[in-house]
Structure 1
């Protein structure tokens, strides 16, 4: 009788462990992904070498201004990470390094405006079902200013949190 009870407990423990493993695999492959950043286009917000957790498969689901998203770069096909600065219907312009959306200056404390002083762009209106993305490191970012707005259907993830940061490692040289 004791053996039968022990076997049932072992089966229940095994079943519980199997369910946990399956749940982790499903979450990891369908819901959350992790990536390591290979570009400096989002510095200082996200640094080269940072490991990030992303909500997968965003598509058109709830993308809004200021979200940091991933997609396949139209310029080289590599995974790109950029900030959404405008969504469908917004009018985007840069006037002497200052981003304007619908004629209103956007406060961007993470952008080094001195590095892009004298830069002008647009204005352009973001088409339906697309987002306009730019890197925080505007001087070094290849983004929607070059390849145009990104279809929301091509957005593959949205930043949830930073798992590890390489930013501190880069301060003072590298």
Structure 2
């Protein structure tokens, strides 16, 4: 190792140690996830950055999918980040079904083990989708078992409104986006093995209108995802 490089490392060893510890913290303890698309509307918006608890379900060897210990069980309705089983891309969706569940969609309506979720109409909104322009969106409250949250449907869009039935394999989960007609989820890439779960999204850290003028959405900063899912 050249003398100058050795001296540089020695002079900056405190900073290098900080970077190492920060990297371990982010890959094993806590993380953040920017929301780049509208697949989780109306709950998560483009420009939100969410806090992800990497210890919610497993303690993993940093930088790997190897679990050292289970710390909790994923629940129906949890919003989670995970690596796509299709290509490894990091995604964020909601757990719709658990291991052993038989799940299907019939005309947008979710059925778990033959029992249909309950729905309440919340209201209407407008979503802009290129190249289609402004579309009417319908906001609904979906109540499935103990899980209760808002979803959005886009009646003007051609989408996969019928799916299944499929039975979720052991140690796997079925994911759906809250924006049901504009989400690439388990209807496309299948169920997600537990070892691909990264963590549970719990809170919005910061938010800005990246599709508009980049103004901060101060009212969303610090909101828990439970608060967001129960907003009207």
TM-score tier by shorter-chain length is 0.7 to 0.9
Matching residue of 2:80: 69
Q: Which moved more, 1:41-50 or 1:112-121?
A: 112-121
Off by >6 Å, runs of 4+ in structure 1: none
Matching residue of 1:160: 202
Determine if contact 1:94/1:120 at 8 Å carries over to the other structure. yes
Give the one of 150, 159, 164 matched to 1:110: 150
Distance 1:77 1:151 in 2: 12
Count the aligned residue pairs: 149
Query: Which runs of no fewer than 5 residues in structure 2 stay unpaired?
Result: 1-17, 59-69, 119-141, 143-148, 213-232
Matching residue of 2:111: 100
Distance 1:27 1:39 in 2: 26
Larger radius of gyration: 1
Determine if contact 1:82/1:136 at 8 Å carries over to the other structure. yes
Q: Which has the higher contact order (CA 8 A, sep 6+)?
A: 1
Say whether 1:47 aligns with 2:40: no
Change (3 A) 1:119 1:54: same
Query: Which runs of no fewer than 5 residues in structure 1 stay unpaired?
Result: 1-20
Say whether 1:31 aligns with 2:29: yes
Distance 1:95 1:56 in 2: 34
Deviations 1:111-131 (A, max 9, x none): 224537882111111110100
Alignment root-mean-square deviation, CA? 2.6
Distance 1:44 1:112 in 2: 6
- 1:144 Cα offset (Å): 0.6
Distance 1:151 1:37 in 2: 22
- 1:75 Cα offset (Å): 3.6
The structure carrying a bigger strand percent of its residues is: 2
Matching residue of 2:9: none
Change (3 A) 1:104 1:114: farther
Q: TM-score, normalised by structure 2?
A: 0.57
The alignment partner of 2:93 has SS state of strand
The structure carrying a bigger helix percent of its residues is: 1
